[in-house]
A and B are shown apart, each in its own frame.
Chain A
Amino acid sequence: MTAETGVGHGHVDYLKVYLALLVLLGVSLAGPLVGLWWLTLVTAFGVAVVKALMVAAYFMHLNIERRWVWYLLLLMLGFMIVLFAGVAPDVLQGEGQHWVKSSGAVPGH
C-alpha cells in the first residue's frame, strides 16, 4: 500500500489465503483426535502461530506495511514474555532460596 492513501496492495489471492487457513484449522484439530500431547502442542499451538502470522501478513497487510509497525507489535509481545518470565517462577515453584509458598494461609490468622 502507499503510505499516503492506504491503497495499492498488489495482487493477493485472498481466497487462497483463506483456504490455506481453513486447512490449517483442520490440522490444528489433529492432535486432540490422535490424543498425543506433543502432537497437540505442535498442531494446535504451532499452527496457531502460523495462522496468526498469515492473518497479520496478508489480511492486515503487514507484509507491505512499514517495517517499524512490525517492531512496535513485536515489542508488545516482548512485554508479554517479560511478564511471563518475571512472574512464572513465583507461580510455578513451591519454594525458592529464602521463601516457601504458604499455599494461601496467612501466618497468625
Chain B
Amino acid sequence: MTHAIEATTPLATRRSASGVPTGRLAVWWLLASEIVIFGGLLASYLMHRLHHPHWADEAGHTNAIAGAFNTFVLLTSSLFAVLGHQAAERGDGRGAARYLVFTIGGGLVFLAVKAWEWTGEIRHGFTIFRDVFWAYYYTTTGLHGLHVVVGLVAMAFVATEARRGRNLHRVELVGIYWHFVDAVWIFLFPLFYIAR
C-alpha cells in the first residue's frame, strides 16, 4: 500500500521538516487562512444578527428544505472524497478518480440547488439590497459557492491525473479542502436557514 503511493509521489511531497508532508502542510495553511476569512464573516454576521431580532423574519424566507438537502449532498460528496482517498492509498488510481467524479457530481448538484434557490429568492424581491441580512446571505453563501467551484476545478484536475495513476497523493489534499468546504456549510446551514 505504502509502496504503491510512494512510487508515484514526487520527492517534494514526501519531504517534511515539520512532521507533515509539504503538500499537506500547504493545505493546512490554506485552510487556516480560510478559517479567518469565513470566521470573520460569520462573527460579523452573528453580532449583527444578535442586534437585529427582525432578521429572524428575513431568515424565514430562506428555503430550509433546500438548505437541508444541500447539507445532505455535501455530506455525501465528502464520503465519496474520503473513499477516493482510501482508493488512492491502495494505489487504485482509477477507483480514486471514479470517487472524485462522484464528488464532483455532488458539488454540481449543490450548485444547481443553490442557483435555483437564489433565482427564486431574487424573483420574490429578496435581493442583496433588500436588507443587511440578505447582503450577508448572498455574500457568505456566494463566497462558499465560489469555494465549491474552485474545489470542483481542482478535483477535475486531480481526477484526470489519478485516472492515469499519477500524483495519487493529491487525492487526499483535494479531499481535505473539500471536507473543509463541507464543514463551513455545516455552520452556514443553521445560521441562515434554521435560526428564525
A residues at B contact (CB < 8 Å): 2-9, 14-15, 18, 21-22, 25, 28-29, 31-32, 40, 44-45, 48, 51-52, 55-56, 58-61, 65-66, 68-69, 72-73, 75-77, 79-81, 83-84, 87-88, 91-92
Contacts and interface: CB of A to CB of B under 8 A. Distances in A.
Given A25-B71, A45-B190, A14 B82 contact: yes
B40 A83 contact: yes
A69 to B, nearest CB: 5
B128 to A, nearest CB: 19
A31 B194 contact: yes
Interface residues on B, range: 35 or more
B179 A60 contact: yes
A32 B180 contact: no
Contacts of A92: 47, 50-51
Contact of B79 (A15, A32, A45): A15
B129 interface: no
B62 to A, nearest CB: 12
Interface of B: 1-2, 5-6, 9, 14, 16, 18-21, 23-24, 28-29, 31-33, 35-36, 39-40, 42-44, 46-48, 50-51, 64, 68, 71-72, 75-76, 78-79, 81-83, 86, 89, 169, 172, 175-176, 179-180, 182-183, 186-187, 189-190, 194-196
Given A5-B5, A59-B81, A80 B43 contact: yes
Contacts of A52: 183, 186-187
DSSP majority for the B interface?
helix
A91 B31 contact: no
Contacts of A15: 79
B75 to A, nearest CB: 5
DSSP majority for the A interface?
helix
B194 A29 contact: yes
A40 B43 contact: no
Contacts of A29: 64, 68, 194
B164 to A, nearest CB: 19
Contacts of B46: 84
Contact of B14 (A5, A56, A68, A77): A5
A74 B148 CA distance: 23
Contacts of B36: 76, 79-80
Given A66-B19, A92-B51, A2 B2 contact: yes
A55 to B, nearest CB: 5
Given A3-B19, A7-B89, 16 more contacts: A4-B14, A5-B6, A5-B14, A7-B1, A8-B89, A15-B79, A25-B68, A25-B72, A52-B187, A55-B186, A59-B78, A59-B79, A60-B179, A80-B35, A81-B43, A92-B50
